[in-house]
Amino acid sequence: MNASAPLAAQRASRIRTKVNVPVELVMSDGSQLTGLVFIGLDERVQDLLNDPKPFFPLRLDNHEILLINKGAVAVCKPLDASK
């Protein structure tokens, strides 16, 4: 048996399909950001914000990815009403 097979199986079990959801963020300093957040197929943006991890990735229109500190977000408005 291949020694790396259990490791490959562990990685495969952690892979989740995500969807891009457009959001508008208002930060605690008043600045605004618009971009995409990545959530699971059965998740809402609210679930991402309530997750215990302190940061989440935001992809900007220029494809730059920022790590956003949840504590610095004053308002998060999903631009797709279904999410």
Alpha helices in 1-83 (DSSP H): 5-14, 45-50
For residue 18, the cross-strand partners are 40
Structure tokens at 78: 């999903």
Quickly state the pLDDT bin for 23 (edges 50, 70, 90): very high
Question: In the CATH hierarchy, which fold is given to the domain comprising 16-78?
Answer: SH3 type barrels. (2.30.30)
Say what the pLDDT of residue 5 is. 64
Instruction: Report the alpha-carbon distance of residue 7 to residue 82 in Å, rounded.
Output: 37
Average pLDDT over residues 48-68: 97
Q: Give the model confidence (pLDDT) of 38-57 as tens digits.
A: 999 999 999 999 999 999 99
Question: What is the Cα–Cα distance from 42 to 19, expressed in whole angstroms?
Answer: 10
Strand partners, 2: none
pTM for the predicted model, two decimal places: 0.78
